[in-house]
Amino acid sequence: MAKPIPVSPLARPLPDLSTVAGVRLSAVAAGVRYQGRTDLMLAEFVPGTIVAGVYTKNACPGAPILWCRQAQTTPYARALLVNAGNANVFTGRAGIQACEDCADAVSKLLDCPPQDVFLSSTGVIGEKLPQDRIIAALPAAQAGLSEDNWAQAARAIMTTDTFPKAARRDVTIGGKPVRLQGIAKGSGMVAPDMATMLAYVATDAKLPQNVLQSLLASGCAQSFNSITVDSDTSTSDTLMLFATGLADNPAVDDVNDPALAEFTLALNDLLLELALLVIRDGEGATKQIRVEVTGADSNLSAHRIALSIANSPLVKTAIAGEDANWGRVVMAVGKSGEPADRDLLSVAIGGTWIARDGGVVENYDEAPVVAHMKGQDIEITVDMGLDDGQARVWTCDLTHGYIDINGSYRS
């Protein structure tokens, strides 16, 4: 049996969570893989709830991804069912059948079409999902539905996570109050497209699906698609946004409507908070790292360079060892395949410029950089000196803890 995983030193406590009108949740133990803990989350949404989603670009997606993509061809959602411990990936026809069986069982309980039931699974790949255990646990899950079960739901979807993750925002649309609240899980197999990662956000705002989808895709680009733990894109990544429509906000049919400005900022901020909680729980992580690239040939080029730095094992292990080895940053820039000029390149760590225009800063004092490296939040800045392209990504350090966790993941 695997050793218990210690709580990340970067952990954050759950915020002050509330309720979202039209959403009820429950968490139960189905025994999918784990014993002695909840591993099944059920969310029920009021009829008429609109759904948007962004899913993994991995070419070997799990059966629940295929199910959700198809289900989202209609705008409505009545339920979300998520299990931990088994990813239902690489399971062929048996995986599809498991999705059909689970969605059908939930639809009978809630008296809705199966296509209004959304599914996610996270855990071990290549093992058949024991859907009979999940279906047997559904009556208890239905009986336990409550508006106040957000924290319990966040814990039920954890795998190698060491702490539950949630965020909340209260804003207005057209002067009317609306609420956003979400939960996430993720610790390893985390990289853009998306970064294994599940996240679910609900709001009582009244918004059409085209607006909801546009907001979610845009917010994902600067949050979940800008984080990486280990460069591995999961087969199960899912980000969903549910809008119950019970708030009294004025009708909005354009994503650029000024009435949406506050809501958009809040959604983006909430998604980034959830994404950074995933980084703070990176397997074996002891430091969170922000990589900022400016002066690149384009924003896309800057993003690729930033990811090259963030995914470099040499950069990440140097930071784990609190070694300000900025030469590894230069290496990672050069290997990215993006336009670069060595003689224009500048590098800073913790706000202190170490190299400017291709050379070490004269009389460079390493003391503030050494002090910065001893902290938990590390900042690396690179100015390419080429144009105005810029990007920001987040990652974590690479320690022996990552090997310990993943070397015994299935045991």
Active-site positions read 196
Token look-up 């649309």 returns 173
Pairing state of beta strands 346-349 and 377-383?
Answer: antiparallel
For residue 76, the 8-state DSSP code is B
How many other C-beta atoms can be found within 10 angstroms of the C-beta atom of residue 60? 11
Q: 3-state DSSP call for residue 41?
A: strand
| Sign of the dihedral defined by the CA atoms of residues 259, 265, 266, 268, in that order | positive
Beta carbons of 154 and 26 less than 8 angstroms apart: no
Question: Nearest CA to 396 among 324, 319, 297, 292?
Answer: 319
Separation of alpha carbons 377 and 284, rounded Å: 15
Q: 3-state DSSP call for residue 46?
A: coil
Token look-up 């406590």 returns 13
Separation of alpha carbons 119 and 135, rounded Å: 13
